[in-house]
Amino acid sequence: MGATRVRDDATLSVAWTTKAGSPVPRLAGTSTTRKEPPRIMFGVHSFLGLFSRDIGIDLGTANTLVHVRDRGIVISEPSVVAMEAKTKRVLAVGAEAKRMVGRTPASIIAVRPLRDGVISDFDVTQQMIAYFVRKVHDRIGMVPRPRMLIGIPSGVTEVEKRAVRDAAMNAGARWAGLIEEPMAAAIGAGLPINEPTGSMIVDIGGGTTEVAVISLGGIVISRSIRVGGDEMDTDIVAYARREYNLFLGERSAEDIKISIGSASPGEWDTQRVTLRGRDLLTGLPRSVEVGGEQIREAIEPSVALIVETIKDTIEETPPELIADIMDQGIVLAGGGALLQGLDHRVAEATQMPVHVANDPLTCVVRGTGVVLEELDIMEEVLVADTYARPPR
Ligand SMILES: Nc1ncnc2c1ncn2[C@@H]1O[C@H](COP(=O)(O)OP(=O)(O)OP(=O)(O)O)[C@@H](O)[C@H]1O
Ligand SMILES: [Mg+2]
């Protein structure tokens, strides 16, 4: 279920040699080896650049966020699309569509096109991106031919990458780049990714958890599992069914997780919450009161998998980088980082200091914003095989 990727030595040494000649830190300096694009292209692009604003998108399995240069985060909505079942005509996107989840008549379906960290439906994903870009135009006025940088889960296939880039180009981008979410999250969390020191980021999203060790602008080692906040919700649904014969909706399970879910004991254990669902035996509505400890027990399978993945990644990390991470601490990002007591749990399991990033839900999109501002000197953090020199 998990996937480990270790950069081969060749890639790593390229990263080292490009930096070796650079006397100034990468973020502050400018690259001298970069070739200029052809003059005519440069002219057209810089002309557009005068009027356009760069757009960064975190295409998450649970939430899509959009960052616009000089404006900040202008959109933050669930990655949900409601469609007519028969014709697949899109009826609603985002928050409006999420309200329909579990409440739609048979003629309407509400889907999450990225649900498990993979793009299950290209067409719907494309429509969703187009919708959010249109919404940016509505909110802040027309953005003519922007450059777009999109955060994607690491481990998506080539076909999926192409689909995302095509979606951005179809939505009017003059250039579309991709960045892996853990890299963007690390940048958004303010980690010194360009320095010769190891930083560890754990991005716990809805559908995926991604753990990465980054040094010198590259991912040295990463692991990604298709377990995140959604799986915890499923755990709670299964728990209610198993323990109480209660059929609970996924949305209610998520609300319960957010209100009293936890990964280690704490003051939240004294709180109680009411599970409201349908009795599986009588078919009638029923409610049951449970405590924080029970919800912790319910989500434990997912939490344990996340903690194991972090430990496994540490085991494969070169010792020099481990020493750096011990100094700096492991940084948790993504909505799952807000789970109460998760930082303590990870610290205990790894014997390392652990910090929750500032505003963990927005790290990835803020990271795309930073990269777009510094595109000239941060090209190497983009997904390499989709790289085409960004216009100015
Ligand atoms: N306070 C909270 N406590 C626990 N979980 C939370 C909290 N707030 C949000 N979450 C969970 O975080 C998840 C969403 O996080 P996020 O927006 O980072 O995911 P995503 O980026 O859309 O997904 P992915 O990174 O997998 O593509 C959801 O499962 C949500 O229930
Ligand atoms: Mg995410």
Angle 255-260-265 from CA coordinates, rounded to 5°: 155
| CATH number of the structural domain spanning residue 283 | 3.90.640.10
Whether 266 maps to a domain, the answer reads yes
Q: What angle do CA 105, 109, 110 make, to 5 degrees?
A: 115
Quick one: 129 and 206 in the same domain?
no
Question: What spatial distance separates the first Cα and last Cα of the chain, rounded to whole Å?
Answer: 40
Ligand closest in space to the Cα of 79: 1
Query: Looking at the CA of 64, which ligand is closest?
Result: 1
* Cβ–Cβ under 8 Å, residues 161 and 152: yes
- One domain, residues 327 and 343: yes
Distances (CA, A) of 385 to 117, 158, 162, 178: 19, 9, 10, 9
State the closest ligand 1 atom to the C-alpha of 59, by its place in the atom list counted from 1: 27
pLDDT at 1: 43
User: Quick one: pLDDT at residue 297?
Assistant: 97
For the CA of 367, the nearest ligand: 2
> Domain range for residue 285?
229-299
Check: CB of residue 56 under 8 Å from CB of residue 369. yes
Count the domains in the chain.
Answer: 3
Distance CA 140, CA 146 (A): 13
- Give ion ligand 2 contacts, CB < 5 A: 60, 205
Alpha-carbon dihedral 355, 356, 358, 364, rounded to 10 degrees: 110
The residue whose C-alpha atom lies closest to atom 5 belonging to ligand 1 is: 336
User: What's the Cα-to-Cα distance from 368 to each of 157, 223, 344, 374, 380, rounded to whole Å?
Assistant: 20, 21, 29, 10, 13
Q: What is the pTM of this model?
A: 0.85
Same domain, yes or no: 208 and 286: no
Angle between helices 250-260 and 292-316 (to 10 degrees): 80
At 379 the pLDDT is: 81
Residue 324 inside a domain? The answer is yes
Same domain, 217 and 273: no
| C-beta 151 within 6 A of ligand 1 | no
Q: With cut-offs at 50, 70 and 90, classify the pLDDT of residue 222.
A: very high
- What pLDDT, on a 0 to 100 scale, did the predictor assign at position 43? 54
Residue of 59, 61, 271 best suited for mutating to test ligand 1, as the one with most atoms within 8 Å of CB: 61
Which one of 249, 275, 299 terminates a domain?
Answer: 299
Question: What order of strands is seen across the sheet that includes strand 63-68?
Answer: 72-78, 63-68, 55-59, 147-152, 175-180
For the segment 27-38, the average pLDDT, to the nearest whole number, is 38
- Residue 180 and residue 126 share a domain: yes
For residue 22, report the distance from its CA to the centre of ligand 1, in Å: 38
Q: CB of 334 closer than 6 A to ligand 1?
A: yes
Q: Which among 299, 332, 349 is the end of a domain?
A: 299
**In-domain check, residue 23:** no
Q: Whose C-alpha lies nearest to ligand 1, atom 18?
A: 334
Residue 332: which CATH number?
Answer: 3.30.420.40
Q: Is 62 among the domain residues?
A: yes
User: Which of 76, 211, 257 most suits a substitution to test ligand 1, by most atoms within 8 Å of the C-beta?
Assistant: 257
d(CA 3, CA 146): 34
In this structure, the answer to whether residues 104 and 241 fall within a common structural domain is no
pLDDT digits (tens, 9 = 90+) for 369-391: 999 998 888 888 888 655 456 66
pLDDT on residue 353: 98
Same domain, 162 and 252: no
The maximal CA–CA distance of the chain, rounded, in angstroms, is 74
Contact by Cβ (8 Å): 125, 114:
yes
User: Does residue 172 lie within any of the structural domains?
Assistant: yes
Last-in-domain residue among 282, 299, 316 = 299
pLDDT one-digit tens code per residue, 311-337? 999 999 999 999 999 999 999 999 999
Q: 31 in a domain, yes or no?
A: no
Confidence class of residue 56 from pLDDT cuts 50, 70 and 90?
very high
Q: Which helix (H) or strand (E) holds 223?
A: strand 218-225
Strand order in the sheet with 285-291: 246-247, 272-279, 285-291
One domain, residues 233 and 213: no
> What spacing in Å lies between the alpha carbon of 204 and ligand 1's midpoint?
7
Distance (Å, rounded) from C-alpha 32 to C-alpha 148? 24
337 lines ligand 1 (CB under 6 A): no
Q: Dump strand ranges (E) for 31-174.
A: 55-59, 63-68, 72-78, 81-84, 90-93, 108-111, 147-152
Q: What backbone phi and psi angles, to 5 degrees, belong to 24?
A: -110, 155
**293 and 242, same domain (yes or no):** yes
Confidence of residue 76 (pLDDT cuts 50, 70, 90): very high
Whether residues 329 and 351 fall in one domain: yes
Q: How far apart are CA 288 and CA 286, in angstroms?
A: 7
In a domain, 14, yes or no: no
166 shares its domain with 68: yes
Q: Considering the domain boundaries, does residue 261 fall inside one? A: yes
- Quick one: which atom of ligand 1 is closest to the CA of 361? 18
Do both 322 and 265 map to the same domain? Answer: no
Ligand 1 nearest atom to the CA of residue 254, by list position:
31
- 178 and 161 Cβ atoms separated by less than 8 Å: yes
